[in-house]
Structure formats: structure tokens, C-alpha cells
Amino acid sequence: MRVMIIGDVVGQPGCDFLRKRLPAFKREKKVDAVICNGENSAIGNGILPQSANFLFDSGVDVITGGNHSFKRREIQDYIEEHPDLIRPANYPPGVYGNGWYRLDLGNASILVINVLGQAFMDPMDDPFRTCDRIISEVKADFVIVDFHAEATGEKMALGYYLCGKASAGVGTHTHVQTADEQIIDGKTGYISDLGMTGPIRSILGTLPEDIVRKMTTHLPTRFNVPDGPCKMEGVILDLDKKTGNCTKIERFQLR
């Protein structure tokens, strides 16, 4: 089983680049399923029904979210009707949508879980025990966790915590791909951050001049996503059905 996981898709340039490159890349890599973080896929940030549909139509099977999952109100009804778009599972109880999705591929199933970190983020329930609870309740051949968090130490702690319980734990949110892909103790695939899908000349997907203006003036600044050449970043996992473990993790950056 080969699974591709793609880092945060930013704005229309990120969506367009993914649509242009994903179909052929999927064929080339012989991938069985694609998971993608879409919390910044809408024009103006967040995720909208249009941007979610665009990612699904481009070949994505499961979309994960993060701290921007509910930035746009229009997604509230959509997420209730589309269980393959998930938001962090450690949001308070009763929030729209679901924090996990079981992708059934016929010959195998993948439980995808999305959780938010606690360091430098809004207060949320414990991501570690949230994962435990879902893994014990939902049976699947493989478990993949998108850990949407700021701090690499916290992400690595969850990676080790999930070792032997999940097939892979991958970090999102910081939009800068890390070079620490590994298989923890020969069991669980791990990377601190998948990276980003969006404009290369940008700061985390935003026009650099907007960020610099904000940081040097502290004035309210509208963040724009620039046009220009894009990249798509993420990992491809080989998963073993007998053990549920990850046997190979390949980091990629497509330009």
C-alpha cells in the first residue's frame, strides 16, 4: 500500500499547481491513496466548499485541516455532509464535522486522524489521548495522523507516542518541509513537517512584502497569495498490511 500525503495547499496558485501535477505524479509513484492538508486552500485562507471540491476533483481522497479549518463559515454545513474532509479531532465536543475518517479502499482501510498541537496554539483537548481514543474505537488496517502543530518537539513527542500504534504521524502547519523523515523504531513513519503546496517566492505561501510590512509596522495588513512558480511538497509512504507498519518514507518536492 502506497499513500501520498501532501503539505498545506495555499490559495488558488497552490490548488492549480496540485491539479496540474498530481494526476501524473500519482501514476508515476503508483499511489493507492492521497491525503492532503487543505486548511489554507481557499482564496483568502481557510477552506471553502469550492476549494475542497477542487482538491477532491484533482485526485485527493481525504482532506485534513488545522487551526484555519473554520475560518470560513461556509464550510460548516459542507463538513457535516463530507466526512472525507476532517478537522482536528481535539476541538471541543459538539463542533461541526469529524476529526477522523476511515478510507475504505476495498482491499484495505486507512484511518486518517487530524489533531492540533497545544504549544503556541489555541487551547485544545490533549492530542495524545485523543489519538488513543480514536485508534481504540475505529478499526482499520492502517492509521495515519496529521499532527497540525507549531513546535517540532511536540510533534516528535507525538511521533514517538504513536510508535507501534499508528502507521505514520506527519506534521503540518509550519509550511516549511523538514529533512527529518524517518521510521521510528522500524514501525511508524514520521516527518516533522510535510511542507507546503504553493508559491515558491513567498513566506509560508503569502506575499513576502505583506508579511514584512506587517512585521515592521504592526498595521493591519491584508495577506495576498502571490502568483509565480509553485512547488508541491509531502511524503510517500509504503505500508505493510501484515503489520500495519511503515516500511519506507520518501520525502518529495515537486517544482
Q: Is 173 one of the catalytic residues?
A: no
The binder of Fe ion chosen from 1, 6, 8, 166 (CB under 5 A)? 8
Q: Is 231 in the site for Fe ion (CB under 5 A)?
A: no
Contact between residue 191 and residue 178 where contact means Cβ atoms under 8 Å apart:
yes
DSSP characters for 74-140? Answer: THHHHHHH-TTB---TTSPTT-SS-SEEEEE-SS-EEEEEEEE-STTS---S-HHHHHHHHHHHS--
Which residues inside 15-54 make contact with Fe ion, applying CB under 5 A? Answer: 40
Minimum CB separation from Fe ion for residue 86, in Å? 14
183's CB contacts (< 8 A; 6+ apart) are: 189, 190, 245, 246, 247, 248, 249
Name residue 6's beta-bridge partners.
36, 234
Count residues binding Fe ion (CB under 5 A).
5
The binder of Fe ion chosen from 12, 51, 64, 67 (CB under 5 A)? 67
Q: Which stretch binds Fe ion (CB under 5 A): 8-16, 71-79, 103-111, 112-120?
A: 8-16
- The CA-to-CA distance between both ends of the chain, in Å, stands at 25
The binder of Fe ion chosen from 26, 173, 187, 231 (CB under 5 A)? 173
Minimum CB separation from Fe ion for residue 59, in Å? 20
Taking the C-alpha atoms of residue 48 and residue 191, their distance in angstroms, rounded to an integer, is: 27
Minimum CB separation from Fe ion for residue 8, in Å? 4
Q: Which stretch binds Fe ion (CB under 5 A): 45-53, 60-68, 111-119, 125-133?
A: 60-68
Which residue numbers are catalytic?
68
